[in-house]
């Protein structure tokens, strides 16, 4: 385990023993106002301080979720369609996205499966602060076949479409959407100055991905939206 994870693990232990569950999130928010000035790796050194804070919060919330469920200060911005069906819910590796996913589920939406790169012990993906988990499909040569089956039965599938290391966005899921007349939406998360995590469902320019040109525009839209979120954290450094 990396030394910074050990330190954050110790902080999580202190929070869980020192505060009631109702105050865990507030404690994480205030603690990371201090840890954001510490860059545990060269990669973190290059990040805006508040993006670093959000990443530290992500780690602490993941550790605390293993102990119990607890409230998180969050909101979900309204979106046009009330109930999503036959939908691929795409996102990228941004901090606190699992808080936004939790809020999305609490809004009575359903996610039938999440595509993940690594198999979990129980075959499910946790969302921060909640006991509710999402069944997973592990990436394999058959992942698109399994995804197609869920979508064709009216289900929704969640996945992060970017490579965690390079940030490159894979077009594969967009081509699947084109073939089976499904739709794509994006889900994002953003931390505000007061500690509120805002979740947002955002429709790309062409949700049905009917042509290669539309797919490319959807991917470019996702890149720009991701850059916008990263720039958001620079504004209140």
- Residue range 36-70, pLDDT digits in tens: 888 766 567 778 899 999 999 999 999 999 999 99
Which pLDDT band, with edges at 50, 70 and 90, does 235 fall under? confident
CA distance 32 to 63: 14
- The pLDDT value recorded for residue 107 is 85
pLDDT in tens, 106-129: 988 899 999 999 988 999 999 999
- The pLDDT value recorded for residue 108 is 81
pLDDT in tens, 153-189: 999 999 999 988 888 999 999 999 999 999 999 999 9
- What's the pTM? 0.92
φ and ψ at residue 124, rounded to 5 degrees: -135, 155
The H-or-E segment that residue 180 falls in is helix 172-180
CA distance 193 to 184: 30
φ and ψ at residue 132, rounded to 5 degrees: -70, 135
CA distance 133 to 127: 6
2 pLDDT higher than 90? no
């Amino acid at each position: 385990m990396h030394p910074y994870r050990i330190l954050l693990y110790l902080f999580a232990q202190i929070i869980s023993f020192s505060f009631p569950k109702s105050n865990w999130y507030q404690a994480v928010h205030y603690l990371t106002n201090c840890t954001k000035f510490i860059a545990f790796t060269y990669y973190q050194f290059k990040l805006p301080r508040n993006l670093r804070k959000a990443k530290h919060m992500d780690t602490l919330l993941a550790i605390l979720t293993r102990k119990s469920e607890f409230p998180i200060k969050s909101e979900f911005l309204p979106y046009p369609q009330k109930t999503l069906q036959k939908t691929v819910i795409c996102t990228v590796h941004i901090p606190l996205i699992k808080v936004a996913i939790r809020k999305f589920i609490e809004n009575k939406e359903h996610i039938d499966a999440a595509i993940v790169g690594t198999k979990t012990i129980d075959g499910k993906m946790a969302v921060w602060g909640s006991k509710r988990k999402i069944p997973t499909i592990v990436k394999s040569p058959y992942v698109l076949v399994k995804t197609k089956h869920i979508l064709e039965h009216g289900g929704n599938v969640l996945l992060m479409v970017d490579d965690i290391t390079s940030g490159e966005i894979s077009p594969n899921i967009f081509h699947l959407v084109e073939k089976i007349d499904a739709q794509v939406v994006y889900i994002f998360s953003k931390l505000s100055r007061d500690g509120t995590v805002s979740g947002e469902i955002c429709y790309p320019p062409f949700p049905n991905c009917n042509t290669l040109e539309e797919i490319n525009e959807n991917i470019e839209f996702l890149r720009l939206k991701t850059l916008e979120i990263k720039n958001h954290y620079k504004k209140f450094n």
